[in-house]
Amino acid sequence: MVLAVKVQIKEGEKVRRKLIELGALNREYKIKREEGFLLIPVKFPVEGFEVVEVELERVETRPNSYKDVVNIPRELRKFLPSSFDIIGNIAIIEIPSELQNYSNEIGGAIIRVHKSVKAVYMKGGSVEGEYRVRNLIHIAGEKITETIHRENGVRLKLDITKVYFSPRLATERMRVFKMAREGEIVFDMFAGVGPFSILLAKKARMVFACDINPWAIKYLEENIKLNKVKNIIPILSDVTKVCVKADRIIMNLPKYASRFLEHAMRCVNNGGIIHYYGFGPEKDPYGWHVKRINEVAGRLGVKVEILGKRIIRNYAPRQYNIAIDFRVSF
């Protein structure tokens, strides 16, 4: 039995607010409607109200984290990852070696807490190869690999086993979109399935989206149709064989972007902006990259102006994924 204040329905909302002010509302139970009255659960008798004892239904509280429901030994809980990626209806998590034997339990807990997640995969290694595709191991839910991810008002169809995609760059993609100007020509040098390209197409006159992975271009073409954009030209090619004279260039290939700086500077228009991405150590995440940018500019006889530097996320212990925006002038 639970204590409850009995009030007429028309007075219910006013009384509920008063009970909240008094700290008396019992949120563990649901309010019950009965013959023209409301029975509002309270923690203690409240002066000035009719208080009765009734049976009320408990409120079902959803756990805030998969950590609240996962069943593993207490001494191993300290190794549970604090975050993971959700791409569409698929979750991807990095599980440390200490918890490898409990991967199925961890995957199941994620599905129980995140109702939109239908499949969970464990990272099986680093992003490698020409197409930057990660080895993934299925640990829970349906064995699906294709999904539609939504971010920044666009829909992105992809297969997590065939293309590289990071949902953690959504804020960065919106930042670049806000910097872009109407009517620009954009060259997305490593476009993937089009998260930068499709968003920038809302402002750009034309976006040239290049990728060497045929699966990325296949999904890019599908995403162009899915988002009903007409000003993107997909290009399946090694980017060094393509040079588009552009006002804005995106170099989202953090591990190897430095190798393509000369090509980017040859393609950008006078006064154009390059968004460069890389990985850098905690002590000096930008230093090597800025030096490299200046070296290439000096060799080509162009001027560069650093417009901004930004840490996007932690990539590995004491390593950051960074962005550097710079203008090129002839």
Q: Which two tokens stand for residue 158?
A: 């992809």
Looking at the chain, the whole-number percentage of residues with pLDDT higher than 70 is 98
Q: How far is CA 57 from the centre of its chain?
A: 37
Contact in structure between 20 and 55 (CB atoms under 8 Å)? no
With a pLDDT cut of 90, the percent of the chain lying above it is 88
- The answer to whether the CB of 282 falls within 8 A of the CB of 308 is no
R_g over Cα of the chain: 27
At 177, the pLDDT band (50, 70, 90 cuts) reads very high
3-state secondary structure of 61: coil
Confidence of residue 261 (pLDDT cuts 50, 70, 90): very high
Residues 206/186, Cβ–Cβ less than 8 Å:
yes
Report whether pLDDT(60) > 90.
Answer: no
Is the domain defined by 76-144 classed in CATH 3.30.300.110? Answer: yes
Q: What is the pLDDT of residue 124?
A: 86
Across the beta sheet with 136-141, what order do the strands follow? 85-87, 90-93, 119-123, 136-141
pLDDT tens for each residue of 264-281:
999 999 999 999 999 999
Q: What is the pLDDT of residue 127?
A: 61
Nearest of 91, 70, 92 to residue 80 by alpha carbon: 70
**Domain spanning 168-329: CATH 3.40.50.150:** yes
Does residue 128 have a pLDDT over 70? no
Residue 317 pLDDT level (bands cut at 50, 70, 90): confident
Q: For residue 63, name the pLDDT band (cuts at 50, 70, 90).
A: confident
Give the full edge-to-edge strand order of the sheet including 2-8. 32-34, 37-41, 2-8, 51-54
Mean local confidence (pLDDT), 12-39: 91
**Is 61 a residue whose pLDDT tops 80?**
no
pLDDT of residue 76 exceeding 90? yes
Mean pLDDT of 296-307: 98
User: What topology is assigned to 2-54 in CATH?
Assistant: Alpha-Beta Plaits (3.30.70)
For the cut 80, the answer to whether the pLDDT of residue 58 exceeds it is yes
Going by pLDDT thresholds of 50, 70 and 90, the confidence category of residue 62 is confident
Q: Where are the domains of the chain?
A: 2-54, 76-144, 168-329
| Alpha carbon distance 142, 45 (integer Å) | 50
Report the pLDDT value the prediction gives residue 101, as an integer from 0 to 100. 95
Q: Do domains 2-54 and 168-329 have the same CATH topology?
A: no
pLDDT tier for residue 35 given thresholds of 50, 70 and 90: confident
